[in-house]
Amino acid sequence: MKDANKKQSRFNSKKELTAWALMAPALFFMLIFTVYPIFRSCYLSLTKYQLGMAEPEFIGLKNYVTLFKNPLFYKIMKNTIVFGLMTVIPSMASGLGLALLVNRKTKGVGFMRTAYFYPVVMPMIAVASVWMFIYMAKNGLFDQLLITFGLKPMNVLSNKKTVLPAMAVMYVWKEAGYLMIFFLSGLQNISEDVMEAATLDGAKPFTLFRKIILPLLGPTFLFVSTIAFTNCFKLVDHVVIMTEGAPNNASTMLLYYIYQQGFTNFNYGLSSALTVIMLALLLVVSLPRFISQDKKIHYN
């Protein structure tokens, strides 16, 4: 791709060459480690390729057929999408809520910002370990709280109905601070004058929020939503540490399954087929943004 374009640009001004030269280093890495693997996955997904085999063996769509015939596959896809739904809206809402709370000039705002943001700098492994304690049966913090209020302790990680929501809570706790930052920047870019003018005009806070803040946050929203959507699919560390997919794969999500097929079962063909499916999913989720981004590029 790059080469073909380069040949064409030789006919044009030196400027084009310069542009490509400047782009080259970054492009080099992105082509090798993002674009090429996508194509390679597509190819390998059509092969049988396992540990111990010297060469992959072309088998057409058999991997996909195996997947689509396996009820576990549908369970995993359901888990992944359900988890996405359980986290995207709450994390965005929390992010926005937190941003609104700290977008004021009161004392202690620094403390609060730190308190909300710090989970972001904790490694997922640490987060998973801590929350594993919180959710531990009977002795964990959560069950202890239930007992204090006279309720029966729930072994949340053992119950297929509660395991995903439990992980979602943990995830929102971690991500909200990250999304808060972006919302905060968006909020603070809404000029003070606009806010003051609206308030002076007698706008009530809720109206203020709906008619002024939300629309002006539009671009931020789009940006944050893309991050939120794609980030929630990439969670695998916590599954590895906390549940290993238990109970009976109720908490197995697509990326964890990809990792399992690739690095525990060493079935690269199947793992690649799953990767292709995941890529398709990501594309679908990100398409709205791409389209609007595309429009903006052309209008720029």
Site for another protein, residues 169 to 228, rule: CB under 8 A: 173, 177, 181-182, 184-186, 188-189, 219-220, 222-224, 226
Residues 81-120: x where in contact with another protein by CB under 8 A, - otherwise, as a string: -----------------x--xx-x-xxx-xxxxxxxxxxx
Under the binding rule (CB under 8 A), the answer on residue 62 touching another protein is: no
Report the alpha-carbon distance of residue 259 to residue 244 in Å, rounded: 11
Looking at the DSSP bridge assignments, the partners of residue 58 are: 47
Judged by CB under 8 A, the chain residues 10 through 39 that form the site for another protein are: 12, 15-16, 18-20, 22-23, 25-38
Choose the stretch contacting another protein; rule: CB under 8 A; options: 80-88, 193-201, 207-215, 260-268.
Answer: 260-268
Q: Which of 123, 152, 200, 204 binds another protein (CB under 8 A)?
A: 123
Count of residues that interact with another protein, criterion CB under 8 A: 126
- In angstroms, the Cα distances linking 72 to 59, 86, 121 are 22, 21, 34
Under the binding rule (CB under 8 A), the answer on residue 58 touching another protein is: no
Under the binding rule (CB under 8 A), the answer on residue 75 touching another protein is: no
Under the binding rule (CB under 8 A), the answer on residue 300 touching another protein is: yes
Q: Closest by alpha carbon to 276, among 67, 51, 118?
A: 67
CB of 211 to another protein, least distance (A): 20
Cβ proximity of 44 and 56 under 8 Å = yes
CB of 207 to another protein, least distance (A): 16
Report the alpha-carbon distance of residue 131 to residue 123 in Å, rounded: 12
Whichever of 211 and 263 has its CB closer to another protein, that residue is 263
CB of 91 to another protein, least distance (A): 13
248: left (phi over 0), alpha (psi -120 to 50) or beta: left
Q: Which of 194, 247, 280, 288 binds another protein (CB under 8 A)?
A: 247
Q: Closest by alpha carbon to 64, among 269, 224, 289, 280?
A: 269
Choose the stretch contacting another protein; rule: CB under 8 A; options: 76-84, 193-201, 206-214, 244-252.
Answer: 244-252
Looking at the DSSP bridge assignments, the partners of residue 47 are: 58
> Does the CA dihedral 228-230-232-236 come out positive or negative?
negative
Report the alpha-carbon distance of residue 258 to residue 274 in Å, rounded: 6
Under the binding rule (CB under 8 A), the answer on residue 249 touching another protein is: yes
Report the alpha-carbon distance of residue 200 to residue 41 in Å, rounded: 58
Q: Which of 81, 195, 208, 282 binds another protein (CB under 8 A)?
A: 282
Cβ proximity of 44 and 269 under 8 Å = yes
Task: Find the Cα–Cα–Cα–Cα dihedral 127, 129, 130, 133, rounded to 10°.
Answer: 150
Under the binding rule (CB under 8 A), the answer on residue 41 touching another protein is: yes
CB of 252 to another protein, least distance (A): 9
Report the alpha-carbon distance of residue 92 to residue 104 in Å, rounded: 19
CB of 139 to another protein, least distance (A): 4
CB of 85 to another protein, least distance (A): 18
Whichever of 144 and 207 has its CB closer to another protein, that residue is 144
CB of 86 to another protein, least distance (A): 19
Beta strands in the chain (DSSP E): 47-48, 57-58
Q: Closest by alpha carbon to 253, among 163, 173, 119, 122?
A: 163
CB of 277 to another protein, least distance (A): 10
